[in-house]
DNA sequence: ACGAAAAACTGAAAAAAGTCATTTTTTAGA
DNA sequence: TCTAAAAAATGACTTTTTTCAGTTTTTCGT
C-alpha cells in the first residue's frame, strides 16, 4: 500500500485538476475558442494582487506559486501543479485578485477570457456543480491549513509541507526514484510561514535523522514515514 | 465616516447572510417546505466533525462557533452570526463535516434537508451563482486568515479578532453604546490560536492602554483605533 | 571554467510564546 | 444570598522562534 493510500495528502492539498476535464463538447468548444497560451520563465509574474481579472488561467506545464505580499515579504498560499486552474476565485467573486501568481519553474499557462467562462457557467450546470464542489473542498483544505498554522510548530509544519511537496514533485521522477523538491529555502520558508534560517536549521536536523539529503537547493526525500511521524499527521 | 467604512472588516469576515435572501418565490417555497427549527442552549453541539451531512443550517437567532477538534483542544475557525448559513460546504463537496458547530449563546437554528437544497440548485442558477460568489469570497477571506496566522504575532491577531468580534456583537447594543464581547478567554484563545494565559496577559496590557475594560468574562471595547494600530491592519 | 552575485548556512543573543502551579474572582445553582 | 465549581488572573520558568551579523557554498552568465 502506498503512503498516498495510507495518508490522504489531499486533506492538505486542494486540487482543481479535474474542473475542465470531460466537459460536454460544446462547453469545451466555447472555452477553447479564444483560449491563448503563453510561456512563463522562472519567477515571472502571471497576475498581480489587486489587479482586475479578465479571465482564468490553466497551467499546462510547470508549477506556479500563489502568494500574498505582506510587508515587503511574501506569504505563499499554495503551489499549483500542471493541470490545475488558477485565478478563478477573483472572477467568480467579482473582486480584484486577492493574491499574486508567479512561475516556480519554466511553465506554460493557458488563458480563457472570463466572458467565455461565464457563458459556459450560464449554459450548463455541469461546470457550476463542479466548481461548487471544488470550492467547498478548497475551503475545507484551507481551514485545515489555518489549523495547522495555529496549532503546529514550525518543525511540524515543515514536515507536512515536505510531504505535500513531495507529492507535487513526484511527477518529475520515475517511480521508486527518490523525489527531489526544487524550491528555494526562501520560498519554502514563506510556505511554512517562518524565516529561511529556521528552514535551514530544521532541514539539517532532518539530514542528521537521515530523512533527506540536500543537493544545493534541491531537497531529496528518503524517509517519508519519519516525516509523517514528525508532522504528527492525522 | 464609520470605522466600518474606513476599514473593510469583511476582509477578515466572510458572511453568508444574503445567500437565501430574495430568492424567487418558487425556490423559496421549496426551501421552506421541509424546513424545521430548533433551539440550542449555550454550548450545545449542532453538528459534529466527521458526521454525514443531511442538510444545511440557517442561524435564526444567536451566535455559533465553527471549530475543529485538535489533540484534546479545539481550534475555532469562525464565529457565525444570526442570518448566516452554515454546514453547506460539506453538503456541496459531498464529504463529511470537516468541522463541528456549537451554540455560543442561546440560539435558534433552522434546518433545510439537502434534497431540497439540491433541488433548488438544479432548478435555477440564481442560487448556484450566489453560492459560487460566496464560496470564492470565503476562500479569499480564509487565505487572509492563514496569512494572519503565519505572519502576525499573537498580540496582532488578538487585536484583529477583537475588531472583528466587536462588529459581530454590535447588533446586541445600541449605536454609540460601547460594545461588549461575550466570549470566554478559552474560546478567544482558540480563535486566536494561543493559550488562554496569553490572552489574559495581552488583555490586561490592552486595559492599561485604555483600549478596553473587562467585566468578568465580558470585554468592553472603548478604543477601536488603537486596536487597528496594534493589528497593523491594512 | 571562471568570477560575481545569489543563495545557503552558522552561531549567538534577544524576544516571543508556551507551560505549569497557584491564587483570586466570577458564575450559576441550591 | 450563599456556596461550590468554573473561569480568570498571576508569577516563575522553559522552550521555541526570531533576528542579526557574518561565512561558506552554489548558481549562472560569459
Contacts of A81 (CB under 8 A, 6+ apart): A15, A17, A59, A63, A168, A171
Q: How far is A92 from chain B (nearest CA, A)?
A: 5
Answer yes or no: is pLDDT of B143 > 60: yes
Residues of chain A with CATH 2.60.120.10: 9-135
Average pLDDT over chain B, rounded to whole?
Answer: 93
Quote the pLDDT of residue A4.
43
- Tens digit of each residue's pLDDT (9 = 90 or more) over B97-118: 999 999 999 999 999 999 999 9
Q: How far is the CA of B142 from the C1' of D22 (A)?
A: 39
**What pLDDT sits at residue A72?**
80
SS3 of residue B148 by DSSP: helix
Using alpha carbons, select from B27, B16, B198, B185 the residue that is nearest to residue B117: B27
Check if the beta carbon of residue A212 is closer than 8 Å to that of residue A162: yes
Is B153 an 8 Å CB contact of chain A? no
Minimal CA separation from A71 to chain B, in Å: 10
Each residue's pLDDT tens digit, B36-81: 999 999 999 999 999 999 999 999 999 999 999 998 889 999 999 9
Give the pLDDT of residue A6.
56
pLDDT at residue number B124: 84
3-state DSSP assignment of residue A44:
coil
Q: What would the pLDDT profile of A134-189 be if each residue is shown by its tens digit?
A: 999 999 999 999 999 999 999 999 999 999 999 999 988 888 889 999 999 999 99
Please calculate the CA angle B114-B13-A113 and round it to the nearest 5 degrees. Answer: 75
pLDDT band at A101 (very low <50, low <70, confident <90, very high): very high
Instruction: Give the pLDDT score at A234.
Output: 58
Find chain B residues with C-beta within 8 A of A193's C-beta. 149-151
**What is the C-alpha to C-alpha distance for residues A199 and A190, in angstroms, rounded to an integer?**
10
- For β-strands B107-113 and B55-61, DSSP reports them as antiparallel
Task: Indicate if CB(A161) is under 7 A from strand D.
Answer: no
Contact B98, B48 (CB under 8 A): no
Q: Does the pLDDT of residue B3 top 50, yes or no?
A: no
Task: Give the Cα separation of A59 and A80 in Å (integer).
Answer: 8
Rounded CA-CA distance B73/A173 in Å is 40
Average pLDDT, chain A: 93
Bases on strand D under 7 Å from any protein CB: 7-12, 16-21, 25-27
Contact (Cβ atoms closer than 8 angstroms) between residue A169 and residue A179 = yes
| Cell numbers linked to A208 | 542528521
Residues belonging to chain B: 234
The whole model's pTM is what? 0.93
Residue A2's pLDDT band (cuts 50, 70, 90): very low
**CA angle, corner A9, sides to A161 and A49, nearest 5?**
55
Q: Report pLDDT for B11.
A: 83
Q: Kindly determine whether the C-beta of residue B217 is less than 7 Å away from any atom of nucleic acid strand D.
A: yes
- Best CA proximity match to A189, nearest among A65, A29, A97: A65
pLDDT bracket for residue B2 (50, 70, 90):
very low
Indicate the range of A203-212, B4-13, B17-26, B64-73 predicted with least confidence.
B4-13
% of chain A at pLDDT higher than 90: 84
DSSP label at residue A11 = G
Beta bridge partners, B78, equal: B66
pLDDT at residue B8 tops 60: yes
Strands (E) in chain A, as ranges, are 36-40, 45-47, 55-61, 63-70, 73-81, 85-86, 100-103, 107-113, 180-182, 212-215, 218-221
Residue range(s) in chain B whose domain bears CATH number 1.10.10.10: 152-231
Residues 6+ apart with CB under 8 A from A143: B68, B77, B98, B99, B142
The shortest CB-CB distance from A133 to any of B93, B146, B151 is to B93
Contact check, Cβ <8 Å, A142/B147: no
DSSP 3-state of A60: strand
The pLDDT value given to residue B67:
96
Work out the minimum CA distance from B180 to partner chain A, whole angstroms.
26
Q: Which three cell numbers stand for residue A2?
A: 502506498
Q: Using CA atoms, how far apart are residues A44 and A232, in angstroms rounded to an integer? A: 35
Nearest residue of A to residue B134, measured between CA atoms: A93
CA distance B100 to B102: 7
Least confident stretch, A9-23, A28-42, A216-230: A9-23
Q: Give residue for cell 515543515.
A: A158
- Give me the residues of B, 61-80, that contact A with CB < 8 A: 68, 70-71, 73, 75, 77
pLDDT digits (tens, 9 = 90+) for B147-206: 999 999 999 999 999 999 999 999 888 888 899 999 999 999 999 999 999 999 999 999
B197 touches strand C (CB under 7 A): yes
d(CA A124, CA A71): 43
Q: B9-135: what fold?
A: Jelly Rolls (2.60.120)
> From the alpha carbon of B215, which nucleotide's C1' atom is closest?
C26
Mean pLDDT throughout B26-30? 95
Q: Is any atom of nucleic acid chain C found less than 7 Å from the CB of residue B218?
A: yes
Give strand pairing partners of A76: A67
Cβ pair A84, A59 in contact under 8 A: yes
| CATH, domain range B152-231 | 1.10.10.10
Are the C-beta atoms of A75 and B150 separated by less than 8 Å? yes
Mean pLDDT in residue range A25-47: 94
Amino acid at each position: 500500500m502506498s503512503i498516498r493510500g495510507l495518508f490522504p495528502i489531499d486533506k492538505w492539498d486542494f486540487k482543481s485538476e479535474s474542473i475542465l476535464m470531460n466537459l460536454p463538447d460544446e462547453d469545451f468548444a466555447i472555452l477553447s475558442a479564444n483560449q491563448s497560451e503563453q510561456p512563463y520563465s522562472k519567477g515571472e509574474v502571471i497576475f498581480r494582487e489587486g489587479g482586475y481579472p479578465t479571465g482564468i488561467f490553466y497551467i499546462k506545464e510547470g508549477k506556479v506559486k500563489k502568494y500574498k505580499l505582506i510587508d515587503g515579504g511574501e506569504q505563499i498560499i499554495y503551489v499549483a501543479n500542471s493541470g490545475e486552474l488558477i485565478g478563478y476565485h477573483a472572477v467568480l467573486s467579482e473582486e480584484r485578485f486577492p493574491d499574486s501568481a508567479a512561475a516556480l519553474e519554466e511553465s506554460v499557462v493557458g488563458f480563457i477570457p472570463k466572458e467565455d467562462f461565464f457563458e459556459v457557467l450560464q449554459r450548463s450546470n455541469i461546470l457550476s456543480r463542479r466548481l461548487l464542489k471544488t470550492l467547498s473542498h478548497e475551503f475545507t483544505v484551507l481551514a485545515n491549513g489555518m489549523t495547522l498554522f495555529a496549532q503546529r510548530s514550525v518543525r511540524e509544519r515543515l514536515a507536512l509541507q515536505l510531504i505535500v511537496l513531495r507529492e507535487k514533485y513526484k511527477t518529475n521522477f520515475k517511480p521508486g526514484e527518490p523525489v527531489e523538491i526544487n524550491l528555494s529555502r526562501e520560498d519554502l520558508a514563506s510556505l511554512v510561514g517562518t524565516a529561511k534560517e529556521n528552514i535551514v536549521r530544521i532541514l539539517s536536523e532532518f539530514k542528521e535523522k537521515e530523512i533527506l539529503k540536500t543537493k544545493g537547493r534541491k531537497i531529496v526525500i528518503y524517509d517519508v514515514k519519519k516525516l509523517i511521524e514528525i508532522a504528527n499527521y492525522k
